[in-house]
Chains A and B, each alone.
Chain A
């Protein structure tokens, strides 16, 4: 009889305890879903890609996926094996920032045969299997830089270019987009593969000059082979060779930093306007100091974030646009502290 009583009282206590536990547990978060992994292959281990990784990881976490991050030593490493490993590893989608303009098609086909969506991020690539590209439209980025150059130097003048790699599609896109939108004439040789078919006609030049509108003259195009020191040397040459130089246009982070260092050393920040790309800490300091007059900043975080969201949409059979321009913003000393610019530069704080 005592045993029965014990069992009865213990059962009652257990039931009460359980209901208490469940009541207090109500409202707590559930465990996150595990829908699989998405492989993200980038070009190198440069800090620039960290922002892509952050964006991708956050989107994946929100949508119940994990990120399989693949970053080769440098841009010379072939990316085919990463794509094939992703297929073998059971990835649900592949996001890739292609280092090359072609040569990945066979690997892409292997993935496409298994119905794994492929999306390009940061850099576009021509492919029959790529579903979409999320990148800054380089032509548009060049256009933004051109319009801002015009606003910065309304009187026009001599302009030189510090490109990062002569055969880089990014450099070509940014050069072409820039000079397509900048009212200019050319007084130098244009490198092979670059397009400069928007020179002003002589009568237009006259009309603009009469109307007080700026006209620029492209006087030199140099390349630094992605080496900041070479960019410094190149800048010194440009200044020596073109004493009336008004603007130096740089096509990536390395070339911008090199040119900034040279202008800073020479104390020419008020004479020469520098318009560059990207947003390393050194560049931001140069912007704050007025050495750099403006930098075109992409949004690698958004590329990663939106890239994963669109990848998940295609996994779930939603149609997605074939190209998504993640935009570019011109950052100057004036707007540097605006909320939208700070969010672009430090997305982890927002």
Chain B
């Protein structure tokens, strides 16, 4: 049962540990994810802005080139030099924007493909304009047959230049549209991910709260169980103590007479034999065996009980009383009782025992023999030696006919 309890507690601790680690990982991962989404969103916005600026600059420049070409056709004498210069600047600007556009990372393949087509059209348009300039202006001097007059220049413009410019513009728009649509879907995806992420956080929060409540309830139930077990153990322990005490008592008591037994006597005085002086009296009921033989053991037991009760009643005040064997009683007088008084009290005890005791309307009177020993320290090595001396005194008394107190030395 205790092992199970330990196992159960171990499991609870593991759950808390795993939940704690999971929470730390989740929070760290959430921060990483949030940072990643934020970076992606910022990057996407920057790319859109950069691409829009590039494409609109390219388109503005193409329109300016177109205007300059028309001005040259309208009046080559007054406009040519300035406009040619401006066309060159415009194409430089277009080149710069195209390089910038190409540097933006993460372009979708479709978008880049369309951009490359637009770039090819622009290059073709530029090449055509350069040859147009040559034919219309300086180059015409070399080949008379290629000289362009204003009417033919207009035709060349509408038939060969304008379609290239229109297509280039449209292709750039297409590249921009693809890029924008791609970026918008990326942004939408980021927002959708954020929504889901927030939802997950909410679920984690609610789940965490629920888990805390569940664990708290589990802990409470566990604690109540432990309290109950503790109380049970206390009750068991107190029962055990009572039993132990009873067992101890039983070990040093004579159950029949309720007096301490020989073991108790040993316990009480063995330690004192070496150091203390004391008065000890051993009392033995004469002819007790006959009662057992005549009236039975129950009757004898009853008689002993009554005698011992009387002894306790009369002498407990002056001495510690022991029933060391069947009909033998031992009185160890207290230090406050002087030797002579002890002897007198011992004689009284013989008298008390000599009284008539009535059991089941039968009056019984048995004499007793006593052995008195005014003991001095170190006279006996142990209790047995002491008792041997005293029993020999009893024997002497019994040999004299009993009902006498013999003093032993």
Measured between alpha carbons, how far is A141 from B177 in the docked complex, in Å? 31
A266 at the interface (CB under 8 A from B): no
Measured between alpha carbons, how far is A302 from B166 in the docked complex, in Å? 11
Interface size on A, residues (CB 8 A): 54
Q: Are B117 and A30 within 8 A (Cβ)?
A: no
User: Which of the residues B22, B186, B193, B210 comes within 8 Å of A25, measured between beta carbons?
Assistant: B193
Q: Are A26 and B190 within 8 A (Cβ)?
A: yes
Known contacts A151-B146, A326-B167; A30 and B218 CB within 8 A of each other: no
Q: Are B185 and A29 within 8 A (Cβ)?
A: yes
The interface residues of chain B lying within 8 Å CB-to-CB of A150 are 145
Known contacts A22-B193, A30-B185; A143 and B121 CB within 8 A of each other: no
Within 8 A of B (CB), among A302-325: 302, 305-306, 309, 324-325
Q: Are A8 and B211 within 8 A (Cβ)?
A: yes
The interface residues of chain B lying within 8 Å CB-to-CB of A305 are 174
Known contacts A327-B163, A340-B124; A26 and B40 CB within 8 A of each other: yes
* CB proximity of A84 to chain B, nearest CB, Å: 30
Known contacts A213-B144, A327-B160; A306 and B200 CB within 8 A of each other: no
Interface size on B, residues (CB 8 A): 61
* CB proximity of A12 to chain B, nearest CB, Å: 5
Q: Are A15 and B26 within 8 A (Cβ)?
A: yes
B139 at the interface (CB under 8 A from A): no
Q: Are B123 and A306 within 8 A (Cβ)?
A: no
Known contacts A62-B178, A212-B144, A340-B123; A26 and B18 CB within 8 A of each other: no
A241 at the interface (CB under 8 A from B): no
Q: Are A213 and B177 within 8 A (Cβ)?
A: no
The interface residues of chain A lying within 8 Å CB-to-CB of B173 are 309
B19 at the interface (CB under 8 A from A): yes
Known contacts A18-B200, A26-B190; A343 and B120 CB within 8 A of each other: yes
Q: Are A302 and B167 within 8 A (Cβ)?
A: yes
Q: Are B185 and A350 within 8 A (Cβ)?
A: no
Known contacts A306-B167, A325-B162; A5 and B15 CB within 8 A of each other: yes
Q: Are B177 and A63 within 8 A (Cβ)?
A: yes
- Name A302's closest neighbour in chain B (CB-CB): B167
A290 at the interface (CB under 8 A from B): no
Measured between alpha carbons, how far is A151 from B127 in the docked complex, in Å? 18
Within 8 A of A (CB), among B121-171: 121, 123-124, 127, 144-146, 152, 155-156, 158-160, 162-164, 166-167, 170
B359 at the interface (CB under 8 A from A): no
B250 at the interface (CB under 8 A from A): no
Q: Are B174 and A327 within 8 A (Cβ)?
A: no
The interface residues of chain B lying within 8 Å CB-to-CB of A299 are 167
Measured between alpha carbons, how far is A302 from B170 in the docked complex, in Å? 10
The interface residues of chain B lying within 8 Å CB-to-CB of A154 are 145
Q: Mark A1-44, 1 if CB is under 8 A from B, else 0.
A: 10011001101100110111011011111100000000000000
* CB proximity of A173 to chain B, nearest CB, Å: 13
A243 at the interface (CB under 8 A from B): no
A181 at the interface (CB under 8 A from B): yes
* CB proximity of A19 to chain B, nearest CB, Å: 6
- Name A19's closest neighbour in chain B (CB-CB): B200
Measured between alpha carbons, how far is A257 from B193 in the docked complex, in Å? 59
Within 8 A of A (CB), among B189-212: 189-190, 193, 196-197, 200, 203-204, 207, 210-211
B275 at the interface (CB under 8 A from A): no
Known contacts A5-B15, A30-B185; A62 and B177 CB within 8 A of each other: yes
Measured between alpha carbons, how far is A137 from B162 in the docked complex, in Å? 12
7 closest A-B pairs by beta carbon, nearest first, are A327-B163, A140-B159, A340-B124, A30-B185, A325-B163, A12-B22, A8-B211
20 additional contacts, CB 8 Å, given A5-B15, A19-B29, A147-B156? A8-B15, A15-B203, A19-B26, A19-B197, A23-B193, A26-B37, A27-B189, A62-B181, A140-B155, A140-B160, A181-B155, A211-B144, A213-B145, A302-B167, A306-B167, A309-B174, A327-B167, A340-B120, A350-B113, A350-B116
The 8 sampled A-B contact pairs (Cβ below 8 Å) are: A9-B15, A12-B22, A16-B25, A22-B193, A29-B182, A140-B160, A306-B167, A326-B167
